[in-house]
């Protein structure tokens, strides 16, 4: 079990730069929201026929994830997103009260384990732009 946790942590800290082809599907998804509104970031790296043990979201190619969900454990959420980031639909994330600093490039990654293999899948790039004034 300890080996498996070390493996997961190593994968979670791995590289996910903007130049990583990683299997993203198609061109980036462009999402524009007004300041203070909520937005759902969908993840297309999910195989509905095989459950994922790890879900991870990163922003701007960072080596540190902003959201990590491992199996049935409580998710780890970056402190900058505390109380504003929630997993919905088993893979998408809901970002509440969008701030200008939330603008950037997001990407999900999943890990699925079979009886003999472990598969990492990268989702499509999502470009989030937060504009306007909160009313």
| Cα–Cα nearest to 63, from 22, 98, 11, 104 | 11
Give the pLDDT score at 11. Answer: 45
Question: Which CATH number is 23's domain given?
Answer: 2.60.40.10
**Token pair 């049935």: residue:** 72
Give the pLDDT score at 10. Answer: 45
Report whether 101 contacts 6 (CB < 8 A). Answer: no
What residues make up the domain containing 119? 2-131
**Token pair 């989702």: residue:** 123
- Return per-residue pLDDT of the chain as tens, 135 residues: 333 333 344 444 444 333 444 455 678 999 999 999 999 999 988 877 777 789 999 999 898 999 999 988 999 999 999 999 999 987 899 999 999 999 999 999 998 877 677 888 899 999 999 998 755
**Domains of the chain: total:** 1
Cα separation, 125 vs 129, in Å, equals 13
Give the pLDDT score at 118. Answer: 80
Give the pLDDT score at 48. Answer: 73
Taking the whole predicted model, whether its pTM rises above 0.85 is answered as no
Give the pLDDT score at 89. Answer: 83
């Amino acid at each position: 079990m300890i080996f498996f946790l070390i493996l997961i942590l190593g994968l979670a800290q791995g590289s996910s730069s903007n130049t990583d082809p990683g299997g993203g599907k198609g061109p980036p998804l462009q999402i524009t929201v007004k300041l203070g509104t909520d937005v759902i970031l969908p993840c297309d790296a999910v195989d509905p026929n095989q459950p994922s043990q790890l879900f991870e979201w990163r922003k701007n190619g960072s080596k540190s994830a902003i959201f990590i969900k491992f199996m049935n454990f409580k998710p780890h959420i970056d402190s900058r997103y505390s109380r504003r980031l929630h997993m919905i639909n088993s893979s998408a994330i809901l970002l509440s009260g969008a701030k200008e600093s939330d603008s950037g490039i997001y990407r999900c990654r999943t890990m699925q384990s079979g009886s003999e293999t472990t598969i990492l899948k990268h989702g499509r790039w999502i470009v989030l732009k937060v504009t306007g004034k909160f009313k």
